[in-house]
Amino acid sequence: TEGRLSIEAGNVTPNTTAIELEGLDIKRDLVVVALYPSQDNSDTETMSLKGSKLGGSLSVNARSGRINVLIQDNQDITGNATLTAASFGDLTISSSPITGNVTIKSNSTTGSDNVNITGSQINGRLSVDLGSGANDTFRLSGGNVGKDVSIKSLATASSAVTIEGTVEAQLQFSGNVTITTGNGADDIKVKRAGVTGSVTVVTGAGTDDIGLKAVAASADIKIDAGLNPVAEGKKDDGTYEYPNLDRIAVVGGSARNVTIDGGDSAATTGPGASQILITGFKATGNLSIKGGNSEDRIGVGDAGQIDTLATSVNVIDEINSQLGSDNDGLLGLVEVNGTLTINTYNQKDHVWLHTVTTKSLLIDTSFNVDTVKIYDLTGSGGPGSRISVNLGNGNDELTLSNVTPSQFASRLIDGGVSTDTLLSPSTEVAANDAVFKNWEEFGSIGPPV
């Protein structure tokens, strides 16, 4: 057709309408309006566009009911693609380059939406809003995006968002990547991608699993895991027991400033356990980590070495279960050109550092009984560099090995209140007596002299 093609279908009972378009050459826009009478998503209709070429934009609007959409093996869609539905069953865009922006909008409040975009170059923005139904899934693989990417799912039960490149073909995004989810148990993975802007992941309340693998961002990375209100109760030692916790892993990659928040750090009581693992990563600015409000596990540095320090978790198994086992060359040194900051809050926390280089290191574990192990720390030195470890209120334990405080311009390692233990398999502790404050026990090394 030399002009615009407009199709309006539906308004029949029972709903048996299928719109199948194939091998078309449309010089201008294609507009499809589906008027399915089912309001409860009990019927699923279909619309497909295959092997066609559009000289303009694509607009699909399914105003009621539920629709499956397949856009596959098209030569080119020159304009924008706007896909709106009361609820998507399955929406697939495969091997179909789109010159303009792609906007996907579901108005679902009860159903589950599934969107899969694969092998399709999008030169404009990608904006996806999956509504607030029950369970949503989104997957992007094998195609680049020329501008910003925004994925939003406020599903009440769970949201699964996967953005995945490969070793041979990393995804490239010329803009910012933003992922926002609701209060369910969310699973978010971004793998093997280059981003010219920032990466932001924000989840709501619930038990979340967030992983980044080999993501290189020119700007900042921000992860906020939201509240985690799931708790079993108080244990005999006064700490809380949590059947689930927020898991965050960053494996390989780089960024400017990185902020990772377990999500419950603003709370003062109640649940909020976090497990945060950072390995093989470079921050050209600062790296800031905030734990939750329960028994946190935070590891930074060489994952294999952290695995030897962490008695409460198998670090390699955790990373493999979150992000897969294809991690060759991604599990080593963490390098921070600015300041590495780690803050934990109430309850018993575990912090493990092994094979880390940074200008400054600031650790504050606040209340309760905490265990901190720092091995093979290198200070890049220079004016303004600083090491400050404050274990707060509780019977804490700190182990230092191959740590030389004199590499930092400002130095204070403080056990805080209560009976605290300072351990070291090496001898640097005795040579830096002025650095250490408020330590009562020293194991076999003896107190600094």
pLDDT above 60: residue 9: yes
pLDDT above 70: residue 244: no
Kind and range of the H or E run holding 320? helix 315-323
Q: What's this model's pTM, rounded to 2 decimal places?
A: 0.92
pLDDT band with cut points at 50, 70 and 90 for residue 43: low
What pLDDT, on the 0 to 100 scale, is given for residue 433? Answer: 63
**Whole-angstrom distance, CA of residue 96 vs CA of residue 71:** 7
List, for residues 129-173, the tens digit of each pLDDT value. 999 888 899 999 988 999 999 999 988 888 999 999 998 899 999
> What's the average model confidence in pLDDT over 202-231?
87
List, for residues 295-327, the tens digit of each pLDDT value. 789 999 999 999 999 987 899 999 999 999 999
Q: What percent of the chain has pLDDT over 70?
A: 86
**Whole-angstrom distance, CA of residue 193 vs CA of residue 172:** 6
SS3 387: strand
Average predicted confidence (pLDDT) for the chain: 86
Q: How many CB atoms lie within 10 A of CB 384?
A: 12
CB 316 within 8 A of CB 325: no
List, for residues 90-113, the tens digit of each pLDDT value. 999 999 999 999 999 999 888 789
Looking at per-residue confidence, does 37 or 85 come out higher? 85
pLDDT above 70: residue 242: no
What pLDDT, on the 0 to 100 scale, is given for residue 14? Answer: 53
**Whole-angstrom distance, CA of residue 320 vs CA of residue 141:** 20
Tokens for 146, please give them: 């020329």
